[in-house]
Chains A and B, each alone.
Chain A
């Protein structure tokens, strides 16, 4: 028995002190769904910050004069690129919004478990997918 225990300690010692390979290649790592929704939350935040320039332009132009208002509504009604940007921004906003609500639930201590985390990430994906499709229908 003492010999077996020593062998066990030995293996732990070897594992801790070995020069184990370090894998930092992101493309070979399997990310669980909550990790993916977390990074997408960050990415959509950055997209929204950059894309705000279009939103501020549209708001300021539409309020500046009747001609400006017509230019913005005409672009959103007829210009494919403008529709695409609007849809992209609304989609990023939809995801960021839903993932943010998820954060507030977690702050309130709802479902802060491994299963709850996966489940909430799935719900986040489903609700934002529905909102993104609805936004596409609205814009087109």
Chain B
């Protein structure tokens, strides 16, 4: 079996499962957000920020952001592994992707718990 040191879990089956579980969480979050915005056409700041002050919404959003980080990594790892044949380019691109994912994650946590 070929194991790649840059794959998320060092195991293709785990990556595969992680991609599916995170996809389902992201799909549920997406449907929730679209439905919420459709049912609140005249949304104002206090209703909107009130939603994100709820503990369940913060946990749900954090779960979605963590899923996003995992999902984006498995997906972009696959894409970079398929198309970037030069090791320097591929590992360079993957390091950049990890950095961007980290920034998104920190940004997400910060916007949920506020400054």
Contacts and interface: CB of A to CB of B under 8 A. Distances in A.
B30 A60 contact: no
A63 B23 contact: no
Main SS class of interface, A: helix
Contacts of A42: 75, 79
Contact-size category for A: 20 to 34
Main SS class of interface, B: helix
B59 interface: no
B52 A63 contact: yes
Contacts of B23: 100, 103-104
B107 A56 contact: yes
A71 to B, nearest CB: 11
Interface in B48-73: 48-49, 52, 68, 72
A59 interface: yes
Interface stretch (A3-11, A21-29, A44-52, A117-125): A44-52
A66 B110 CA distance: 18
